[in-house]
Amino acid sequence: MKKNFFFTVVVVLVLGLFFYGCTRKAESSQEAIEIAQAMETAEEQVDYLIKQAKAFYNSDEFQQAVNITQHILRHLDRDSQEAKSLMDKAREALAAQAQEAISGFGQ
């Protein structure tokens, strides 16, 4: 009985750490890509990287989102509409940031 309980606790902890690692935002696009490369299938990698790109986008880290979506389109799924759409949105946000910086600089 003790062995079953111990085994169950270990399995739950390992799965918890795995899912925590899959859901937390990476420190950088490079870290996200490195984590994704350890995943078994391209589909798993794309799913994880899309989530990471969205997290960067939502944190106003638009260049990180662009880096990840470019990786997806170059190396994993060149036809990913979700990656293309997110990359376009992130690039537009970068352009808007640049325009704001230029406008603010002249004042």
Distances (CA, A) of 7 to 2, 17, 103: 8, 15, 61
Q: Report the mean per-residue pLDDT for the chain.
A: 86
Amino acid at the residue 31 = E
Q: What is the torsional sign of CA 42, 86, 55, 99?
A: positive
Per-residue pLDDT tens over the stretch 27-51:
999 999 999 999 999 999 999 999 9
Amino acid at the residue 103 = S
Strands annotated E in 1-107: none
